Amino acid sequence: MLVHYSTGEKEAEAVVAEIRAAGGAAQKVAADLRDADGAHLLAKRVREVIGHRLDILVANAGVSRAASIEETTVEAFDTLFAVNVRAPYFLVQQLLPVMCKGSSIVMISSLAARAAVGALSAYAATKGAVDTLVTHFASALGERGIRVNAVAPGVVETDMSNFTKTDEGRAATLGMQALKRLAQPDEIGDAVVFLASDAARWITGETLRVDGGSKL
């Protein structure tokens, strides 16, 4: 297993160590997906390690930035689209030669792609683009036996959701959910594992909502 990172090398090393402790093989690989050639460089490094076959690609690198329409800058907008849309597009493109029948691609969408939550218009647009990519990639790659799906989380208790650490933010989050608690990262991970596995072998072109019944 390869663990990609941009700036979080220590975190990547911790994930690699956990995988190895569980008996798996893993190593980290670096690339800055904000760069125009970031996805190409990452794909090159991945192919150098894995050789001629890639069974699962989880495109989960992403950035988020809350800002009103008036406050959104061109720089911030371009960074969001570079990492959240351009990078997975060209990562898939560059890794297609090593994917084959039975390979699975899982991308990460968001509740924000289908519902207005917070001041996230630019970020939401990137996740709407991800949903569109899933549809087109699944259609184009189906004949090769490659499945393409996405997971769309709601609010997850991570560093990207610092607003939930305030009473107001937590109340707002719980108020839009049918299941009144914050999601944990492993609950999103389990959905990714399902879509990547043979248990989901007849599922492609889908965006699976994993959001605790948010905005029903």
Select 53-210's CATH number: 3.40.50.10680, 3.30.1330.10, 3.40.50.720, 2.60.120.260.
3.40.50.720
* Residue 18: per-residue pLDDT: 95
How many angstroms separate the CA atoms of 109 and 65, rounded? 15
**What is the domain partition of the chain in residue ranges?**
53-210
Is pLDDT of 163 > 80? no
Predicted TM-score of the model (pTM)? 0.92
Q: How confident is the model at residue 195 (pLDDT cuts 50, 70, 90)?
A: very high
The active-site residue out of 114, 123, 134, 150 is: 123
Would residue 89 show up in a list of annotated catalytic residues for this protein? no
pLDDT digits (tens, 9 = 90+) for 90-141: 999 999 999 999 999 999 999 999 999 888 999 999 999 999 999 999 999 9
pLDDT digits (tens, 9 = 90+) for 66-87: 999 999 999 999 999 999 999 9
* Residue 162: per-residue pLDDT: 65
Q: Which two tokens stand for residue 174?
A: 């719980």
* Residue 160: per-residue pLDDT: 67
